[in-house]
Amino acid sequence: MTPTSRLQHSKPKLRLFIFLLAGIIFSNSMMLLLPIYGSDALSDSARLQRIMAMYANYRKAFAGIQEIEASAAIELVGDPEVVFVDVRDPEEQAVSMIPGAVTSEVFLAEPDRYRDQRIIGYCTISFRSGKLAVKMARKGMTIVNLKGGLLAWVHAGGVLVRGYKPVTQLHVYGRKWDLAPSYIKSVY
């Protein structure tokens, strides 16, 4: 075999090697970008799966706290025996809230006012509300945590309002939690 024929014979193998190497580099680059821009590439069901996996991990910090599924909580909106408590920061609450919810500031100013109601706490993914539920349990008050928070709420079809007006915006706390369904505009 001449040097030229050896080179021509190895060209297909070299091309295949370069093609496979480029594919590996490209796919690894995309995996590096997934935590930053990943939610755009995910389907709504994949986003919900990620929310529930994150919540399950966070749940370890408040394992003994009662929780409620978003679909069950949606049925309780407007029930006078139920109060939703939004544990998020005011900037987050200004974007949207569950209809009829009170802020944690209002709740904590007079917690005894709500003692006879079923109290459901929430935040973006219900980590902060889980921590509030632990704090209030030490004081003898039960707060049920919204499983998966507002992210699970909107995935289950729950309505958000700003004031009394329905909106399709949700403050998602940060990029890591940008997992709202595609019909919701995320803010952070």
Convert the pLDDT of each residue in 122-170 to its tens digit. 999 999 999 999 999 999 999 999 999 999 999 999 999 999 999 999 9
Convert the pLDDT of each residue in 45-60 to its tens digit. 999 999 999 999 999 9
Global confidence as pTM: 0.79
In the numeric block, the tokens 């079809």 are attached to 157
Q: What's the DSSP call for residue 169?
A: E
